[in-house]
Amino acid sequence: MNVLWYATRATGEVALLFLPVVLALGVMSALRIGGRRLPRFVIAGLHRNLTLTGLGFLAVHILTTLADSYVPIGVVDVVVPFGSAYRPIWLGFGALAFDLLMVLTVTSLLRTRIGFRWWKALHWAAYGCWVIALVHALGTGSDVRTSAFLFFAGICCAVVLAMMGWRLAQGGQDDQALRLGAGIVALLLALAIGVWTVRGPLEPGWAKRSGTPGSLLPKPAAVASHATGTATRGDEG
């Protein structure tokens, strides 16, 4: 058992699950949802603390990925998208999501300096950040074909779409056409990701087509052992 490999998978999936929860709490805070049982300051505190917890899982995910010598991923690949020797496009989406998350974190810390209007406009990127992170997970993850991962990913998609729809619906009378257009684009994007997942990561041969170096692809002996029920690290599609 490679502890780093399992740690990378687990922390990456947990971080992915944290983001929809943080988004939901952010929407509740923005819409000033709260009452006696759940005051607004409690929602704000949960949003902040869960964000920090999610960042902690993400940090472990990155560190274990770098420490694991199985795949050729370097420090530069963490922040510079689409330049990795290992699945460059799909790993690049992970780097892009990380960069966006860092921008969101820094601008939140500087909220009073940059002004509420700019901070609010930048914070809409949180939805895009999660979508990009999801594509990264689907394109590079070893657990994509498991029913548990697909189930939780579907639930997270539903939560994000619901929160975005709620946020857009509460925008008042201004820019109704723009908000309606954004909602339609979000639905079409979710549909496109679903179709791509079925025709891409869930199809046989995805490991090779996704850009995995030939030296890491399963050998015939490994494929035979997988067919008999023994999984190997190279068995990723």
> What token pair was written down for 32?
């000033």
CA angle 177, 182, 186 (to 5 degrees): 150
**Amino acid letter, residue 169:** A
Give, in order, the Cα–Cα distances in Å from 91 to each of 35, 81, 112.
42, 7, 34
- The percent of residues in the chain predicted with pLDDT above 70, rounded, is 91
- pLDDT tens digits, 122-143: 888 889 999 999 999 999 988 8
> What token pair was written down for 179?
């908000």
- Give the list of residues 6+ apart from residue 26 with CB closer than 8 angstroms, or none: 47, 123, 126
Domain boundaries, the chain: 3-212
- Give the list of residues 6+ apart from residue 160 with CB closer than 8 angstroms, or none: 20, 23, 127, 130, 131
The distance between the two most distant Cα atoms of the chain, rounded to a whole number of Å, is 63
User: In this predicted structure, what is the pLDDT of residue 117?
Assistant: 84
- pLDDT tens digits, 152-182: 999 999 999 999 999 888 876 667 888 889 8
Instruction: Name which residue leads in pLDDT, 226 or 207.
Output: 207
Ranges of H-type helices in the chain: 3-30, 40-67, 75-79, 88-109, 111-114, 116-123, 125-140, 147-169, 176-199, 206-209, 220-227
Write down the pTM of the prediction: 0.88
* 3-class DSSP assignment, residue 68: coil
User: In this predicted structure, what is the pLDDT of residue 230?
Assistant: 43
* 3-class DSSP assignment, residue 77: helix
CA angle 231, 233, 237 (to 5 degrees): 80
At residue 231 the predicted structure's pLDDT band, cuts being 50, 70 and 90, is: very low
Is residue 19 within 8 A of residue 130, CB to CB? The reply is yes
